[in-house]
């Protein structure tokens, strides 16, 4: 911008602020920190923040701001040019397998579960799962900090190392490469502790023995388990993400990060269009779709004829209205639920999503007071972006849709038909990618 600028945030983000400045090319950036938090404090408390010490530097905050804007720059603060950086050691060892487990774990390169040690031989075997060159670049490194990573780059070989560590077989590798191709990779660094869901469609589900039947979301198949795990390992290692206090700020974290809610859709027992076809792919194509959001919840409904749709109606409305607004819903139906909904007339996903969209409403007051509205959606309303601009002009008791569009609601089918249960992930669709491209 070319004018003196002083960023100010709370002490909770000291490390993140300093690392962000360094990665953006200003490692000595003058910054000011207030006590944490700012939100929820009274006017008097916030006024006092300004005349009390910066909890990081110890200087009185207003004096610090004045000094930061008037004290001449040091040589370090005026330094320009390129700073080359390194990712660390290219190899570890030779050492015993147990010691290498410790080294990988102690250096933040695992999910703290045992890994398959990535030897050259195992990585070469993994690379046989694709026709692509090991040196092909999937992502070019970019200066700065993304929402979930430090924007590092990676090649097919570097992806293979992480696939080995996760326990993948070479035949799973095209799926992992397709996931790596969509980026940004998890872990999702937001304070919301959001996680990921990975939905896989196409004939490859059977080729890889993916489980979409009984216990589809539980650890009953190597492919479901290790493909999901590889997402988190790639996020930590390939993009330097998932470092608490640095590239990861999730307050409570998210247990879904261990597997990232892998869903192989049961296309045979689904009465609806498969998810990938809905997104424009051909039925015979193999596709991975990435969703992101904070949580998943279970509903019991659509168990018999007649009244069941009301049960589903009530539950889906309640479940969606307790979600984080502004994001989407990924509804995971057992085939029994899907069948009952079709019997009720919802024979297409479009009819169903439109019905959920209309059923899930809230008052303008609830919307305005929701977590995301104040800092995420209100600024959009100020820009005149719809529907937020209109919503902010309505009276408190006016009813508005919970979702901005029916397209934020997606349905997939899997499960063992043991009972008519469904689950709803508070997750939005990010991107989908061809798996076939990576075979």
User: 31, 77, 85, 27: which is closest to 56 by C-alpha?
Assistant: 31
Q: Which regions of 327-420 does DSSP assign to beta strands (E)?
A: 329-333, 361-363, 399-401, 409-413
How are strands ordered across the β-sheet holding 262-264? 262-264, 195-201, 287-293, 428-434
Residue 111: CB minimum distance to another protein, A: 12
* Minimum distance of another protein from residue 26's CB (angstroms): 5
Cβ within 8 Å of residue 317, ≥6 positions away:
359, 360
Q: Which is nearer to another protein, 82 or 280 (CB)?
A: 82
Name the β-bridge partners of 248.
244
Q: How far is the CB of 369 from another protein (least distance, A)?
A: 11
In the complex, minimum distance from the CB of residue 53 to another protein, in angstroms, rounded to a whole number: 15
The helix-helix angle for 43-51 and 61-70 (nearest 10°) equals 50
27/416 with CB nearer another protein: 27
* Residues in CB range of 100: below 8 A, 6 or more apart: 92, 93, 117
**From the CB of 79, what's the least distance to another protein, in Å?**
5
CA distances from 247 to 10, 50, 137 (A): 17, 28, 23
Please report how close the Cβ of residue 8 comes to another protein at its closest, in angstroms: 5
Nearer to another protein, 294 or 335 (CB): 294
Q: Report the nearest approach of another protein to the CB of residue 396 (Å).
A: 19
Q: Answer whether the bond into residue 94 is a cis peptide, omega within 30°.
A: yes
Three-state DSSP at 322 gives coil
Q: Is 66 helix (H, G, I), strand (E, B) or coil?
A: helix
Nearer CB in complex with another protein: 29/311? 29
Nearer to another protein by C-beta: 44 or 304? 44
Identity of the residue, 113 or 382, whose beta carbon is nearer to another protein in the bound complex: 382
* Residue closer to another protein, measured from CB, 37 or 283: 37
d(CA 276, CA 84): 41
Which is nearer to another protein, 23 or 429 (by Cβ)? 23
Please list, in sequence order, all residues whose beta carbon lies within 8 angstroms of the beta carbon of residue 414, skipping any fewer than 6 positions away: 212, 213, 216, 217, 263, 264, 265, 266, 332, 334, 335
Q: Is the CB of residue 160 less than 8 Å from the CB of residue 123?
A: yes
Cβ 329 to another protein shortest distance, Å: 20
Nearest residue (CB) to another protein, 201 versus 226:
226
Nearest approach in angstroms of CB 310 to another protein is 37
- Which residues, including other chains, have CB under 8 Å from residue 116's CB and lie 6 or more apart? 122, 164, 165, 166, 167
Output the CA angle 312-409-151, nearest 5 degrees: 140
């Amino acid at each position: 911008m070319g004018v003196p600028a002083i960023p100010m945030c709370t002490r909770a983000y000291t490390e993140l602020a300093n690392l962000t400045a360094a990665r953006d090319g200003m490692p000595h950036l003058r910054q000011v920190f207030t006590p944490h938090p700012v939100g929820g404090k009274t006017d008097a408390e916030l006024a006092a923040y300004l005349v009390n010490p910066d909890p990081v530097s110890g200087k009185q905050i207003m004096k610090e701001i004045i000094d930061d804007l008037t004290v001449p720059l040091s040589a370090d603060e005026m330094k320009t040019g390129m700073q080359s950086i390194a990712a660390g050691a290219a190899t570890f060892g030779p050492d015993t397998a147990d010691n290498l487990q410790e080294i990988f774990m102690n250096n933040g390169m695992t999910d703290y579960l045992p890994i398959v040690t990535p030897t050259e031989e195992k990585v070469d075997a993994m690379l046989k799962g694709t026709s692509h060159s090991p040196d092909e670049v999937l992502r070019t490194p970019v200066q700065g900090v993304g929402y979930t990573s430090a924007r590092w780059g990676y090649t097919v070989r570097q992806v293979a190392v992480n696939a080995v560590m996760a326990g993948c077989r070479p035949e799973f590798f095209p799926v992992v490469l397709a996931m790596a191709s969509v980026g940004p990779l998890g872990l999702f660094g937001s304070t919301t502790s959001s996680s990921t869901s990975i939905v896989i469609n196409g004939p490859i589900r059977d080729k890889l023995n993916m489980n979409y039947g009984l216990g589809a979301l539980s650890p009953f198949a190597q492919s479901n388990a290790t493909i999901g795990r590889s997402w988190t390992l790639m996020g930590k290692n390939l993009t330097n993400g998932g470092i608490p206090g640095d590239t990861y700020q999730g307050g409570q974290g998210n247990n879904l990060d261990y597997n990232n809610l892998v869903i192989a859709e049961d296309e045979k027992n689904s009465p609806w269009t498969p998810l990938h076809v809905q997104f424009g792919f051909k039925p015979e194509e193999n596709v991975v779709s990435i969703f992101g959001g904070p949580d998943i919840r279970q509903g019991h409904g659509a168990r018999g004829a007649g009244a069941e749709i009301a049960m589903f109606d009530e539950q889906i409305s309640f479940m969606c209205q307790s979600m984080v607004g502004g994001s989407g819903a990924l509804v995971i139906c057992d085939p029994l639920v899907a069948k009952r909904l079709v019997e009720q007339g919802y024979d297409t996903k479009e009819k169903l999503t439109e019905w959920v969209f209309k059923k899930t409403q809230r008052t303008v007051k609830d919307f305005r007071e929701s977590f995301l509205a104040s800092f995420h959606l209100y600024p959009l309303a100020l820009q005149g972006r719809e529907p937020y601009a209109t919503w902010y002009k309505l009276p408190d008791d006016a009813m508005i849709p919970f979702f901005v569009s029916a397209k934020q609601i997606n349905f997939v089918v899997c499960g063992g038909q043991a009972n008519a249960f469904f689950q709803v992930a508070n997750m939005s669709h990010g991107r989908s990618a061809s798996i076939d491209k990576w075979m």
